[in-house]
Amino acid sequence: MHKYLKRFVHKSPWLYRINAGSCNGCDVELATTALIPRYDVERLGCKYCGSPRHADIVLISGPLTTRVKERVLRVYEEIPRPKITVAVGICPISGGVFRDSYSIEGPMDRYIPIDVNVPGCPPRPQAIMEGILKACEIWKKRIVEVA
């Protein structure tokens, strides 16, 4: 898009989820923010997408296991800049209850810069919505900086 058009054309941020080896507790809560009207992310102007190449905001759950580490890093690199990263749950933040396990490579910020942390095991849908809202604000600021 031409740099002068960026001032006038406003795009809604698209969300992409990465499961880095989670127990699926956080993924269930993320599904709540997509499916239940009370916590609908579309009212914030966000939409989930199926491809990392279309994403603006990345939601990462799980402690980053050895098995998926390379795939997670490869998918993260496919996301265009400026990208905002949200760590959903305590596992990507610190490893959670799995932190001292032989198969855990995390915390996630050793490998990927994290912009917003949403703690909890699993975090409540309200906390996830607040984290996504903070990520949207950061994303809008970075869009202006790029333009």
Of 89, 81, 91, 93, the residue nearest 138 (C-alpha)? 81
Residue labelled with tokens 């050793």: 110
| Residue, of 112 and 37, whose pLDDT is higher | 112
Please tell me the predicted confidence (pLDDT) of residue 146: 65
Residue 68 to residue 82: CA distance in whole angstroms: 24
Please tell me the predicted confidence (pLDDT) of residue 12: 84
Please tell me the predicted confidence (pLDDT) of residue 143: 83
Rounded average pLDDT over 22-26: 88
* Local confidence band at 7 (pLDDT 50, 70, 90 cut-offs): low
pTM reported for the whole predicted model = 0.87
Is residue 85 within 8 A of residue 114, CB to CB? The reply is yes
Residue 71 neighbours by CB distance under 10 Å: 11
Residue 8 pLDDT > 60, yes or no? no
Residue 5 pLDDT > 70, yes or no? no
Domain with residues 11-142, CATH architecture: 3-Layer(aba) Sandwich (3.40)
